[in-house]
Amino acid sequence: MKVWFNPSCSKCRIAKSALDEAGIAYEEKRYLDDPPTAAELEEVLGMLGIEPWDLVRMKEPRAKELALDSLPHDRAKWIAVMVENPILIERPIVVRDDGTALIARSDEAVNQLRGG
């Protein structure tokens, strides 16, 4: 299991604590320090079953600076923007060993991490 993690994000810290409390082993990917490649983003988007614009934090100041609300829904362009600006990526993303992934922001998603 791998967790795309931002230590300054409270939701990331909650998800990490849930995994730690449940004794679940995981690898931490600090995606701001080690941004994902376009191929990694494509893979995770496939696991999540969503489009790149659905994984972008549109309230992030950088999204406003880039005027993403007016960027056409061109998959390759959005992925390129995310690779260049990883702060835009919604978090935390948990990539499971079974080939599935989830965005662990809600209480329900965190409970799934605990096995509940």
Domain-wise residue ranges, the chain: 1-31+91-116, 36-88
Looking at the DSSP assignment, which residues form a beta bridge with residue 115?
Answer: none
Q: Which CATH number fits domain 1-31+91-116: 3.50.50.60, 3.30.360.10, 3.40.30.10, 1.10.3720.10?
A: 3.40.30.10
Residue 39 reports pLDDT greater than 90 = yes
Which pair of structure tokens corresponds to residue 31?
């995606």
Q: Percentage of residues in the chain with pLDDT exceeding 90?
A: 80
Identify whether 12 is a catalytic site residue: no
Least confident of 15-29, 48-62, 81-95: 15-29
Residue 23 reports pLDDT greater than 80 = yes
- For residues 78-92, average pLDDT: 97
Q: What is the pLDDT of residue 110?
A: 74
- Which range of 22-26, 33-37, 112-116 scores highest in mean pLDDT? It is 33-37
Burial code (b: 16+ CB inside 10 Å, e: under 16) for 65-101 equals: ebebeeeeeeeeebbebbbebbebbbbbbbbeeeeeb
Catalytic site residue from 1, 2, 9, 47 = 9
Length reported for the chain = 116
Is residue 116 very low, low, confident or very high in pLDDT (cuts 50, 70, 90)?
A: low
Question: How many of the other CB atoms lie within 10 Å of CB of 114?
Answer: 12
Residue 28 reports pLDDT greater than 60 = yes
Is residue 112 very low, low, confident or very high in pLDDT (cuts 50, 70, 90)?
A: confident
Q: What is the pLDDT of residue 115?
A: 67
φ, ψ of residue 93 in degrees (nearest 5): -105, 130
Instruction: Find the radius of gyration of the CA atoms of the chain.
Output: 14
Which pair of structure tokens corresponds to residue 78?
């959005």
